[in-house]
Copies of this chain bind each other. A is one copy, B any other.
Amino acid sequence: MKKLINAAESLVDDALTGMAAAHPGLRVRDRVVLRAEGPRPGKVGLVSGGGSGHEPLHAGFVGYGMLDAACPGEVFTSPVPDQVMEATRAVDGGAGVLHVVKNYTGDVLNFEMAAELCDDVTVASVLVEDDVAVQDSLYTAGRRGTGATVFVEKIAGALAEEGAPLAEVARVAEETGRRSRSFGIALTSCTTPAAGRPTFDLPAGEVELGIGIHGEPGRTRAPFAPARELAAVAMDAIHGDLPLEGDLLVMVNGMGGTPLLELYVVFAEVEAYARGKGARVARSLVGNYVTSLDMQGFSVTVCRLDDELTRLWDAPVETPALRWGR
């Protein structure tokens, strides 16, 4: 295993040092990534977090129009309640704080505990559980939270930026999650620096359908197939759960080790599939947004837009990983 690290133990701190140096708009304090300018009085604060190894999620989404703070845990490990408490207090501008939590048992417990302990701050919470692949999984009761997190953070972040109250920001976050579904496919395993070997074995001629973002198992193994067929497997799973119709926001997300050239091939297939169902890809992202270290593979996330969500998606955003229109 060759990794660009100094040591597995210092990886997250070293990376955060780099992140702070690269992005003057961010401030890093005790493993919490904050907007440098601090909380705006009267604005709802948005806090998310989770294990490291999924970059740019979440710290790459801290900034104007999206998150106020991110709490990175160790690689594939939930942040501790202290981090979440510190972030929650740091971003509170008096209007309360929304926690955006991916559905993994450790994340759910630690965010809940932090919310309870922050009894001086009004906290609401939205659970993202968009992955249609499996009902329960290695680290999760219920559906896993994956790509829809990006949509929830962007759309709720835009509404918070406009000065909406906490209940409204939480409502639009829930609504975004309710309208979103994801499915992922792995071509290779990831390798965590601490373990130093692939998380799972995947034979040369096989793929894992419904992979989780920590390499946890999906629905089944299947023979490797052309992009068109793999995209159809993902889209069938999504369409079977929430029929594609109307205007869609679609993300074709790389798992970290897949060339962008290939992600565009997948996007072409996904777009054609949606069109074939009579839906329209009205907005899209193609690239690495919710990664699994060096895994090769992709996930598709689809959100059925309405006018409100479209408007909030289009609103200005200025973060390391998403930036437009300001």
Most buried by B among A18, A284, A286, A325: A18
Segment of A7-15, A84-92, A98-106, A109-117 in the binding face:
A7-15
Binds B, one of A127-135, A224-232, A237-245, A302-310: A224-232
A-side binding surface: helix, strand, loop or mixed? mixed
Beta-carbon contact of A266 and B17 below 8 Å: no
Distance of A16 Cα from B55 Cα, bound (Å): 26
Shortest distance from the beta carbon of A121 to any chain B beta carbon, whole Å: 30
Minimal Cβ-Cβ distance residue in B for A204: B2
Contact B323 A262 (CB under 8 A): no
- In the bound complex, do residue A259 and residue B227 qualify as a contact, i.e. CB atoms below 8 Å apart? no
Q: Is the CB of B230 within 8 A of A281?
A: no
Asked whether, in the complex, the Cβ of B18 is within 8 Å of the Cβ of A264, the reply is yes
Of the candidates B6, B16, B256, B268, the one whose C-beta lies within 8 Å of that of A14 is B268
Residue in B6, B22, B52, B226 whose CB lies within 8 Å of A5: B226
Collect the chain B residues with CB atoms within 8 Å of residue A258's CB.
Answer: 4, 294
Does A194 reach chain B (CB closer than 8 Å)?
no
Residues B21 and A268 in contact, CB atoms below 8 Å apart: yes
A78 part of interface (Cβ distance < 8 Å): no
A56: CB under 8 A from chain B?
yes
User: Which residues in chain A, 267-301, are within 8 Å of chain B measured between CB atoms?
Assistant: 267-269, 271, 281, 284, 286, 288, 291, 293-294, 296, 298
Inter-chain CA distance A265–B20, complex, in Å, is 11
CB distance from A245 to the nearest CB of B (A): 19
Distance to closest chain B CB from A231 (angstroms): 9
Binding site for B on A (CB under 8 A): 1-7, 11-12, 14-19, 21-22, 52-53, 55-56, 60, 75, 187-188, 204, 207, 224, 226-228, 230, 256-269, 271, 281, 284, 286, 288, 291, 293-294, 296, 298, 318, 323-326
